[in-house]
Every structure is written in C-alpha cells, then in structure tokens.
C-alpha cells in the first residue's frame, strides 16, 4: 500500500528519505528501510488522525511525512541510546537538506 499510493514526487522523496535514514541511523537499532504500516490502526478515520497521516493530508505533494517509532521496551534504548537516535536523525536531516530535493527550478 504505502508509499505506492503517494503522488510520484512524494514517493521519490519518501524513498530517498528512507535511504538516507537507513544510511545514518544504524545504532542502537537500525532503521528498517522497508515501510511498515501501523497494523494497530484499524480504520481510515483513525489513520487520518495519526501524525504522519494528518500532515500528509495537509501539505503539498512535494512534502513528505514520516513518523519515527523508537523501541521503548528494549534494553538498547537507554538515555544514551535515545541521544544517539536523535543525533543520527539530525545527521539524516542534514544529508537530506544538502541534496535540496525540493529546490525549485531556476527561472529564465
């Protein structure tokens, strides 16, 4: 289902974001590069209220919306583990922004 249902540009941006995240976010638990739908969400109405779904419905198709789920019940997710995740998320965002994936075309 997702991200196949996204408009082309959103799908490309989402795929690139996940690739960047998988490159930078490796410790203490690596990002899974394949999308996993939240199976506990049972209806479209509920899905629309989720943060990433709500954002997706309220932004242009050039934007992407992702939610970072972290393990709360893992011995690896200590204060240091969460700090590492935050640092790696920042590195992912910096790499994403360096590419300027949404840079408008130059006007003649």
Which residue ranges make up each domain of the chain? Answer: 8-99
Q: What is the pLDDT of residue 36?
A: 63
Q: What is the pLDDT of residue 4?
A: 60
pLDDT tens for residues 30-87?
887 776 666 677 777 777 777 667 777 777 777 777 777 777 788 888 899 999 999 9
Question: Of 51, 52, 14, 60, which is closest to residue 33 (Cα–Cα)?
Answer: 14
Which helix (DSSP H) or strand (DSSP E) does residue 47 occupy?
helix 44-49
Is the pTM above the cut of 0.85?
A: no
For residue 1, pLDDT beyond 50: no
Q: What is the pLDDT of residue 101?
A: 56
Counting Cβ atoms within 10 Å, is residue 11 exposed (0-12), middle (13-18) or buried (19+)?
Answer: middle
Which helix (DSSP H) or strand (DSSP E) does residue 86 occupy?
helix 79-99
Q: Is the peptide bond before 89 cis (omega within 30 degrees of 0)?
A: no
Q: What is the pLDDT of residue 72?
A: 76
Q: Note whether 104 and 43 are within 8 A (CB).
A: no
């Amino acid at each position: 289902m997702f991200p196949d249902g996204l408009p082309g540009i959103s799908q490309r941006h989402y795929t690139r974001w996940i690739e960047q995240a998988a490159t930078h976010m490796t410790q203490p638990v690596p990002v899974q590069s394949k999308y996993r739908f939240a199976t506990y969400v049972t209806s479209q109405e509920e899905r629309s209220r989720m943060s990433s779904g709500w954002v997706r419905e309220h932004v242009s198709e050039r934007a992407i919306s992702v939610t970072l789920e972290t393990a709360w019940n893992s011995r690896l997710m200590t204060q240091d583990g969460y700090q590492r995740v935050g640092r790696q998320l920042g590195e992912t965002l910096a790499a994403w922004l360096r590419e300027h994936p949404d840079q408008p075309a130059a006007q003649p």
